[in-house]
Amino acid sequence: MYEVFFQKFNEKVQLTAEEQDFVKQYLTPKKLRKKQYLLQEGDICKHLCLVEKGALKAYVLNETGEEHITAFALEGWTIGDLSSFIKQEPATLNIDALEDCELVLLSKPAHDELLQKIPKYETYFRILMTDAYMALQKRTAYMISLPLEERYKALTDMYPTLVQRVPQHMIASYMGLSPETLSRVRSRITNRK
Amino acid sequence: MSTKQTIAVIGATGNMGSNIAKNLSRGNNRVLLFANDKDKVNAVVSEIKSNNASADVEAYECPRTASWEADVIILAVPYQAEKEITAKIKDVANTKIVISIANPLNETYSGLVTSPETSAAEELQKLLPNSKVVKAFNTTFAADFSIPVIDGKQVDAFIAGNDANALETVSALVTTVGFNPIVAGDLSVSRTLENMALLLISLTMKYNYNWLAGFKILHK
């Protein structure tokens, strides 16, 4: 139930068996069915969520109700509306399940208590946030500087399983493109080969 | 629209369980029902859906799966059955709110089987040490769920528990169901609440209240 969570934790900072048992007390195992919401815009994001199994997407809705995907999460990734979680203010993101999921949730009180009680959790969270920030920095830079073909290739190189598992119109939304534009980009890449 | 809360009702075919499920499915909830008798659970689901086609309610064949998917678990099983069911759901109920509705009555309804220094809710907390056990819905009769306003007064429903966030969540559920929630105190107050239920049951039998009765605190 917590295998992936602890695998990811131990990659960043190694826990002893006792520490692992201690952390376990704070974790909430949760199944989420395909298409169900983990979070809806306007609610407080109560949990940070690590994916044990399945896939989710985070998105904002524009005025016409169209989805703009801001993030995906596959096995081993963490997802949540960070500002809403940290400040406990209404979320701007919606998060729902692309597949049936098994998740590990950490509530804000649990997160705060672990930060205080387990220095290794603080290290884990720091590395998690630093990694996320670096990825975001890279994504922003690519978004404003790279040609579309390069951007798509960078995405497929970085996350090969994502592109296979998620429908292309969602990848297009994530890249800020229409599905038609993404389709042209992909055929240009194929033709060049 | 806010995020739906998923609630598992374990023991969903009993008088209390089925009424709680019916009323909760009117709110912004996804309600998962489990009971030993599969046909009876399906009948409860059909009944809820025939009255409210948009109700998000589903029968589950395994209490563990239902509890794993749930944010809140309602144990609507007799006190005597709690040990067996908690063994099945303990790991997936980790950190979750578990509502204890049971009154540990003896066979003749003349007393409680628990000793005075504990309660059914506290015994449940011992079985599920990492869950947030909350006492609720134990002083309200099943018929009250259809008629939560008796003699012009909205029935009070008392809640007891040790976790402030859990008490807040359960208070909101009590409101959805139709009662007036009153947080009575920490989990040890369950001893009083379970004795209040004993009193209400014995008075109902003695004075023939027709199982439509409840508490109301009168105050200024």
- Specify the DSSP class assigned to residue A190: H
Of chain B, the percentage scoring pLDDT greater than 70 comes to 100
Is B220 part of a structural domain of the chain? Answer: no
Question: How much is the pLDDT for B95?
Answer: 97
CB contact (8 A) between residue B95 and residue A107: yes
Tokens standing for B187?
């989990």
Question: How much is the pLDDT for A77?
Answer: 96
* Residues with Cβ within 8 Å of residue A164, at least 6 apart in sequence: none
How far is it, in rounded angstroms, from Cα B46 to Cα B23? Answer: 14
Confidence of residue A193 (pLDDT cuts 50, 70, 90): low
Q: Which of A36-50, A177-191, B203-217 has the highest mean pLDDT?
A: A36-50
Q: What is the pLDDT of residues B185-208, one digit of tens each?
A: 999 999 999 999 999 999 999 999
- Specify the DSSP class assigned to residue A13: S
Question: How much is the pLDDT for B210?
Answer: 87
Question: How much is the pLDDT for B148?
Answer: 87
Nearest residue to B156 (alpha-carbon basis) of B134, B186, B133, B177: B177
Average pLDDT over residues B47-53: 94
Chain B partners within 8 Å of A3 (Cβ): none
Question: How much is the pLDDT for B205?
Answer: 92
Average pLDDT over residues A52-57: 97
Global confidence as pTM: 0.94
Instruction: Using the predicted structure, report yes or no on whether residue A169 has a pLDDT greater than 80.
Output: yes
Average pLDDT over residues A47-75: 96
Is B162 part of a structural domain of the chain? Answer: yes
Average pLDDT over residues A130-142: 93
End-to-end, the C-alpha distance of chain A in Å comes to: 43
Confidence of residue A23 (pLDDT cuts 50, 70, 90): very high
Q: What are phi and psi of A18, to 5 degrees?
A: -65, -45
Question: How much is the pLDDT for A145?
Answer: 93
Chain B partners within 8 Å of A23 (Cβ): none
Half-sphere exposure for A124 (CA within 13 Å, toward CB) = 21
Mean pLDDT of chain B: 94
Within an 8 Å CB–CB cutoff, is residue A176 touching chain B?
no
Tokens 């969520």, located at residue: A49
CB contact (8 A) between residue B91 and residue A43: no
Tokens 């896939």, located at residue: A55
How far is it, in rounded angstroms, from Cα A165 to Cα B41? Answer: 36
Residue pair A79/A49 in contact (Cβ under 8 Å)? The answer is yes
Tokens 């048992």, located at residue: A21
Instruction: Using the predicted structure, report yes or no on whether residue A191 has a pLDDT greater than 90.
Output: no
Q: What is the tally of structural domains in chain B?
A: 1
Average pLDDT over residues A184-190: 91
Is B59 part of a structural domain of the chain? Answer: yes
Q: What is the pLDDT of residues B130-169, one digit of tens each?
A: 999 999 999 998 888 888 888 888 999 999 999 999 999 9
Instruction: Using the predicted structure, report yes or no on whether residue A144 has a pLDDT greater than 80.
Output: yes
CB contact (8 A) between residue A32 and residue B69: yes
Confidence of residue A192 (pLDDT cuts 50, 70, 90): confident
Q: What are phi and psi of A98, to 5 degrees?
A: -85, -25
Is B218 part of a structural domain of the chain? Answer: no
Of chain A, the percentage scoring pLDDT greater than 70 comes to 99
Q: What is the pLDDT of residues B97-120, one digit of tens each?
A: 999 999 999 999 999 999 999 999
Is B179 part of a structural domain of the chain? Answer: yes
Chain B partners within 8 Å of A38 (Cβ): 3
Q: What is the CATH classification number for the domain harbouring B111?
A: 3.40.50.720
Residue pair B92/B64 in contact (Cβ under 8 Å)? The answer is yes
Mind giving me the DSSP string for chain B?
A: -PPPEEEEEESTTSHHHHHHHHHHTTSSEEEEEE-S-HHHHHHHHHHHHHH-TT-EEEE-S-HHHHHHH-SEEEE-S-GGGHHHHHHHHTGGGTT-EEEE----B-TTSSSBSS-TT--HHHHHHHHSTTSEEEE-SSSS-GGGGT--EETTEEPEEEEEES-HHHHHHHHHHHHHHTSEEEEEESGGGHHHHHHHHHHHHHHHHHHT-TT---------
Mind giving me the DSSP string for B47-60?
A: HHHHH-TT-EEEE-
Mean pLDDT of chain A: 95
Within an 8 Å CB–CB cutoff, is residue A110 touching chain B?
yes
Is B198 part of a structural domain of the chain? Answer: yes
Average pLDDT over residues A150-157: 93
Per-residue CA distances from B136 to B140, B180, B193 (Å): 9, 12, 9
Of B4, B69, B96, which has the smallest distance from its Cβ to A31's Cβ?
B69
Question: How much is the pLDDT for A190?
Answer: 86
Q: Which domain holds residue B23?
A: 5-207
Instruction: Using the predicted structure, report yes or no on whether residue B1 has a pLDDT greater than 80.
Output: no
Q: What are phi and psi of B25, to 5 degrees?
A: -70, -10
Interface of B with A in 146-165 (CB under 8 A): 165
CATH number belonging to domain A3-145:
2.60.120.10
How far is it, in rounded angstroms, from Cα B147 to Cα A62? Answer: 43
